[in-house]
């Protein structure tokens, strides 16, 4: 090992449609500022290409996970998500990420932090970013994490072993309530929007109200500077209504154009995260969008195609396929989302050490 670099053990993991390095908390500096400098160095930010790190030059591949054993009774594992950006020196541990969450248990099994419980293992995981709890079930036949299987998720080639996530009490993850403004629909500068948070703060609005179809490609939307300027102005103006304050330097709320489905799903969505159009849709964004679809008077009403009953599979169509979320409503109050469940997949891509310049520690 070169004396000018420090080796930090890590695993490069794919979680859902995202990927990034995962670390044991004990292998990173306890000081938050120094930890963030280490993460920036590992990722290669700030730099558009992230050429001097392992980042993939895109927000979906500029993520990291930090994991430790559960610190409270009933919690097996604790996960801290870190969102980085190619061209920014910001390390944001405020929002959740359901895709990277899908890789937390596999990583813990790979590193011995957790032990298999049989052919199928279930663990309760706390996401430290917002205090969100989830029960995650994985295949551990033969006493180890199994990655091969028949589950397919759009946005990821091939099939893999399913990672089943049952989210517990996600409403108001950052906003204090499912509908933080107190209304299913609000108006900002004459535009009808739904401000909602069921694991991820999202602002939804009809694509038609923006003069778009909602079926545009990712490339078309990312090249639409006029639309992106309008969306960012809306985000900055609506966020205080959600109790989020000034979000100019935040990676939330996500912004979502919705339109009627056209491929047999429940709703068509184009999400910005928040300044780049997502090639698919984030896990918790999908949960939140699906939740809006089952609420009366949201902007999704009239556009969404939702089955009857208290347990509703909601298919969110996105640019590279669809994402189905199982939404369960409270029988005493059908406007209250009681549970959300879904399937992701994950895979260990590489195991070893990230090399960090020693000068970062010396400074």
Q: How far apart are CA 78 and CA 343, in angstroms?
A: 20
Distances (CA, A) of 90 to 13, 63, 94, 174, 363: 21, 12, 11, 19, 18
At 1, the pLDDT band (50, 70, 90 cuts) reads very low
Domain annotation covers residue 63:
yes
Domain identity same for 69 and 87: yes
Domain annotation covers residue 169:
no
At 336, the pLDDT band (50, 70, 90 cuts) reads confident
Domain annotation covers residue 175:
no
Domain identity same for 156 and 12: yes
Domain identity same for 150 and 241: no
pLDDT more than 70, % of the chain: 99
The contacts of residue 337 (CB under 8 Å, 6+ apart) are 171, 178, 198, 291, 294, 327, 328, 329, 330
Domain annotation covers residue 167:
no
pLDDT in tens, 253-277: 999 999 999 999 999 999 999 999 9
Q: Is the overall model pTM greater than 0.95, yes or no? A: no
Domain annotation covers residue 134:
yes
Q: What's the mean pLDDT in 241-251? A: 95
Domain identity same for 317 and 351: no
The contacts of residue 82 (CB under 8 Å, 6+ apart) are 36, 39, 63, 64, 65, 66, 91, 92, 93
In this model, does residue 2 exceed pLDDT 60? no
Q: Please tell me the total count of domains within the chain.
A: 2
How many Cβ atoms are within 10 Å of 159's Cβ, its own excluded? 13
The CATH number for 248's domain is 3.10.310.10
Quickly tell me which residue has 């919690």 as its tokens. 75
pLDDT in tens, 120-174: 999 999 999 999 999 999 999 999 999 999 999 999 999 999 999 999 878 889 9
Integer-rounded Cα Rg, in Å, for the chain is 20
How many Cβ atoms are within 10 Å of 353's Cβ, its own excluded? 13
Q: How far apart are CA 292 and CA 285, in angstroms?
A: 11
Domain identity same for 141 and 14: yes
Domain annotation covers residue 174:
no
Domain identity same for 248 and 351: no
Look at residue 269 in the predicted model and tell me its pLDDT. Answer: 98
The contacts of residue 124 (CB under 8 Å, 6+ apart) are 70, 74, 75, 76, 77, 133, 134, 135, 136
Domain identity same for 115 and 152: yes
pLDDT in tens, 85-124: 999 999 999 999 999 999 999 999 999 999 999 999 999 9
Q: What's the mean pLDDT in 26-49? A: 98
Domain identity same for 62 and 138: yes
Domain annotation covers residue 304:
yes
Domain identity same for 148 and 192: no
In this model, does residue 299 exceed pLDDT 80? yes
Look at residue 287 in the predicted model and tell me its pLDDT. Answer: 96
- DSSP SS3 for 163: strand
Q: What's the mean pLDDT in 242-253? A: 95
Domain identity same for 268 and 314: yes
Look at residue 3 in the predicted model and tell me its pLDDT. Answer: 76
Q: Longest C-alpha distance within the chain, in Å?
A: 64
Residue 40 CA, chain-centre distance (Å), reads 19
With CA atoms as reference, report the closest residue to 101 among 352, 346, 350, 323. 346
At 186, the pLDDT band (50, 70, 90 cuts) reads very high
The contacts of residue 219 (CB under 8 Å, 6+ apart) are none
**What values do phi and psi take at 113, rounded to 5?**
-70, -30
Domain identity same for 264 and 207: yes
Domain annotation covers residue 173:
no
Q: How far apart are CA 66 and CA 100, in angstroms?
A: 10
Provide the token pair at 225.
């500077």
Look at residue 170 in the predicted model and tell me its pLDDT. Answer: 87
Structural domain of 253: 186-337
Domain identity same for 351 and 329: no
């Amino acid at each position: 090992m070169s004396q000018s670099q420090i080796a930090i053990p890590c695993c490069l993991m794919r979680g859902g449609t995202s990927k990034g390095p995962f670390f044991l908390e004990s292998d990173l500096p306890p000081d938050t500022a120094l930890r963030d400098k280490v993460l920036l160095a590992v990722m290669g930010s700030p730099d558009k290409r992230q050429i001097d790190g392992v980042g993939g030059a895109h927000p979906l591949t500029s993520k990291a996970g930090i994991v430790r054993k559960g610190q409270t009774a009933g919690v097996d594992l604790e996960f801290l998500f870190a969102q980085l950006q190619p061209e920014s020196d910001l390390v944001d541990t405020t929002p959740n990420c359901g895709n990277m969450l899908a890789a937390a248990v596999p990583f813990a099994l790979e590193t011995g932090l957790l032990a298999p419980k049989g052919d199928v293992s279930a663990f309760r995981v706390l996401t430290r970013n917002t205090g969100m709890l989830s029960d995650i079930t994985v295949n551990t036949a033969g006493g180890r994490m199994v990655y091969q299987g028949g589950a397919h998720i759009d946005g990821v080639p091939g099939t893999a072993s399913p990672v089943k996530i049952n989210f517990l009490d996600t409403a108001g993850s950052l906003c204090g309530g499912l509908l933080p403004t107190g209304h299913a629909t609000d108006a900002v500068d004459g535009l009808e929007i739904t401000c909602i948070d069921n694991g991820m703060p999202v602002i939804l609005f009809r694509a038609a109200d923006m003069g778009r179809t909602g079926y545009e490609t990712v490339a078309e939307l990312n090249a639409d500077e006029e639309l992106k300027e309008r969306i960012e102005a809306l985000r900055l103006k609506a966020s205080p209504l959600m109790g989020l304050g000034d979000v100019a330097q935040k990676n939330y709320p996500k912004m979502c154009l919705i339109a009627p489905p056209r491929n047999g799903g429940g709703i068509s969505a184009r999400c910005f995260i928040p300044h780049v159009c997502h090639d698919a849709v984030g896990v918790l964004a999908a949960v939140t969008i699906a939740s809006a679809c089952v609420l009366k008077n949201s902007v999704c009403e009239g556009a969404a195609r939702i089955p009857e009953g208290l347990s509703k599979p909601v298919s969110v169509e996105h640019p590279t396929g669809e994402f189905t979320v199982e939404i369960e409503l409270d029988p005493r109050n059908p406007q209250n989302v009681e549970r959300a469940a879904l399937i992701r997949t994950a895979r260990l891509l590489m195991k070893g050490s990230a090399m960090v310049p020693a000068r970062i520690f010396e400074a």
